[in-house]
Chain A
Amino acid sequence: MHGSASTREQGPPATESARPVVSESPPPRAVRLRGVALRWLRFNGIVIGLYLLAFVLWEVASRVFAIPTFILPSPLTILASAAEEPSVLATHTSVTLQEVVGGFLLAAAISIPLGMLLIYSRLLERLVYPSLVAFQAIPKVALAPILVVWFGFGLTSKVVLALVTAAFPIVINTVIGMGQAPREMLYLMRSLRASPWQIFIKARLPVAAPYIFGGLKIGITLAVVGAVVGEFIASNSGLGYLLLVANNNLDTPMLFAVVVVLAVMSSVLFYAVEAAEAILLPRPLRRSQRRLDPGANA
């Protein structure tokens, strides 16, 4: 997607003057690593500290005001409940994780090419786009019983539900992204007699890439929703199932523990997509890079 790596350098933001010269020899590796860790801590310390403070206040409040555990368990109670049978939580987490990742990968594999095709075929766009929108208007819960009839009680029906939940934002963002290449860029490519494939790979796709990743980031969190909803409707495993069981037992700490696991899982998956973006896209196309104004000091 991007040009030869050999010519790309990590240059500082340009000024009209020549680039600064680095003169000192690099410090040893251990010293450098400690420096990185310290800088990370200095940057994130306040955020971590405030979160810890919130948990401490929560813990203190639930003890001081004696809030009943079945209404709002304290953080330590939730932690104890999760630690009671870690293998149960782990097993169900692994099931949900498989459904989410499987559904998401399938959604990406179908939605990205579909979004690209829609740009190149007017007929296809008129044919597919309206039904896509209509399909999105259906609450996905309504599909779950049908999917269970089609794909059974097991993993497959949840994978499919995660897929259909995650697909829409990926398709839409791909379509939007594919239309973002400026007209003059396309004229330039045509003036060089670029083939349609070259125009796609050298201009349209790089311009679309940040949009596609935007869709993927929304998609991955929706895939979690789809999988859990599927487990709610019909299953005997997964975090959604565990949630139902805990609910029937009035086990509020367990309910909270499952919710926390879901939140952590969604976050990890979200940042995994962001990490993939950082690895795959060259610096100027990355979201975090475009947000930073080199002239402004944070």
Chain B
Amino acid sequence: MSANDTLVTDPPAAAVRAEEVSMVFPAPDGAELRALADVSLDLPPGAFCGLVGPSGCGKSTFLMLIAGLYRPTTGRITIDEEQVVRPWDALGVVFQRDALLEWRTVWDNVLLPIEVKRLDKKKYRDRATRLLELVGLTGFEGFYPGELSGGMRQRVAICRSLIHEPRLLLMDEPFAAVDALTREKLNFDLLRLTAESQTGRGTTVVFVTHSIEEAVLLSDQILVMSPRPGKILRLIGNDLPKPRTLATRSEPRFHALVDDIRSAFHSMGLV
């Protein structure tokens, strides 16, 4: 790969900070549902942060708050020192379900953000081609989502989230709906896509998952959340060397980290 076709974005990645963020939803019976309680967090630019926790602990809610799609009940979230009151401009989001537009081809789905943001499509053609190539979808540009498998669809969604050179990428259990083998493949796709964005440049990633192994494989930092109302229980730095490959999974350090996180859940009486 030559230097001029890397996927690194020029402006630095986003710094995300959460200050005492709480979120309360009205429950159907008139009571209140506390989803998040006083979550504080400081993510440096370019970090790949894995967010793990039991289901229903408010991981997704937290992501929606960073995305600016929900407003926190109390506290505040800032991106690059600026308070989030609506979706940030250089933001990419991948949801659990791919949310592809069925009536658009793969190509037109990938270029959707360019269209919505009224950017010059011509300038992003090469990038779209390159992204699809990196996830092995070359030749499928003219296909409709309905003609693809679940794993292929999610890869299209990932390409779409990266096309507009986001400086913050939020992923909400993106691989929950695909089978274990595909999931492994997608993990390495994602590593390859984000490998070039490190140390203060490129893209900050917040990746929600309930798979401890996935979080350890992908992240620089792992946030362990408690059951509802969600709190950040532990922040674990992940010093596994990069680039991470299939071999990473058999390293003793990998298992030590996984065990470490699992014991954190044990101490909550969860596992």
Contacts and interface: CB of A to CB of B under 8 A. Distances in A.
Binding between chains A and B:
yes
Interface of A: 1-4, 7-9, 11, 13-14, 16, 18-19, 182, 184-185, 187-194, 198, 202-203, 206, 281-285, 294
B99 A202 contact: no
Contacts of B113: 192
A185 B93 CA distance: 11
Contacts of B140: 14
A20 to B, nearest CB: 11
Contacts, number: 95
20 contacts: A2-B103, A3-B111, A7-B105, A7-B141, A9-B142, A11-B142, A11-B144, A11-B147, A14-B140, A14-B147, A184-B95, A185-B99, A187-B99, A190-B69, A191-B92, A192-B117, A193-B87, A198-B116, A206-B101, A284-B144
Contact of B69 (A9, A13, A191, A202): A191
A11 to B, nearest CB: 5
B133 interface: no
Nearest to B96: A184
B103 A284 contact: yes
A203 B101 contact: yes
A8 B145 CA distance: 12
B102 interface: yes
Given A182-B97, A184-B95, A191-B91, A13 B116 contact: no
Nearest to B151: A16
B243 interface: no
Interface in B14-71: 64, 67-69
Interface of B: 64, 67-69, 86-87, 89, 91-93, 95-97, 99, 101-105, 107-108, 111-113, 115-117, 139-149, 152, 164
A262 B245 CA distance: 71
B103 A282 contact: yes
A187 B93 CA distance: 9
A182 B98 CA distance: 11
Contacts of A190: 69, 87
Nearest to A188: B99
B144 A283 contact: yes
A19 B68 CA distance: 41
Contacts of A2: 103-104, 108
Nearest to B144: A284
Given A16-B149, A188-B95, A284 B102 contact: yes
Contacts of B105: 3, 7-9
Given A18-B139, A182-B99, A188 B149 contact: no
A184 B67 CA distance: 13
B116 A192 contact: yes
A8 B109 CA distance: 12
A286 B164 CA distance: 31
Residue among A13, A194, A281, A284 with the most chain B CB within 10 A?
A284
A202 B116 contact: yes
Contacts of B64: 187
Contacts of A206: 101, 103
